[in-house]
Amino acid sequence: MPYKKCPACGHKNKVNSLTCENCNCDISTVEVIKEEKGKNVLIEEPKTIIEKEEYVEFLGEDFVIKAKDGDIIGRGMESVGSEYLQNVYISRKHIKVYFKEDGWYIEPLKNTTNDTYLNGEKLEKGKLFKIRRGDIVGLSTKVKLEVKIKR
């Protein structure tokens, strides 16, 4: 049965998994392996590749933050959206935004003192989480941003 092997923990995951079912590591780019009578054979599988958007929008109550791949969102001067995010419950460097071939992701930064939420669920710091149009990203429990991806 084909599977994706997590490079971090070695867990065998379903072929359509984007993150490891065991440790939540990003496995979106891991190759599919097919077991054949005691041998592991790498098989090529068609991938869905999404054309890169220049930015993803995060809609606040009365503002819009446009973030590019690699941008950090927070209240600090080096962060995108800092002019709108002056709440003390938002870290200076709160989340990092990434674009991968299958879409947009956020990473709650490890050194943030405040939590990040995706659709109401608290996220683990230092892990990647896929975001989709209409998702609600919470920077602490105080500021909620709606994800807007053009499609």
pLDDT at 52: 58
pLDDT at 78: 74
| Digit-coded pLDDT (tens) for 80-139 | 877 888 888 888 899 999 999 889 999 999 988 899 999 999 999 999 999 999 999 999
Burial (CB count within 10 angstroms: exposed 0-12, middle 13-18, buried 19+), residue 27: buried
What mean pLDDT comes out for the span 3-26?
A: 85
List C-alpha distances in Å: 36 to 2, 39, 40.
9, 5, 6
Fold of 56-148: Tumour Suppressor Smad4 (2.60.200)
Spatial contact of 7 and 28, defined as CB atoms under 8 Å apart: no
The full set of domain ranges for the chain reads 3-43, 56-148
State pTM to two decimals.
0.64
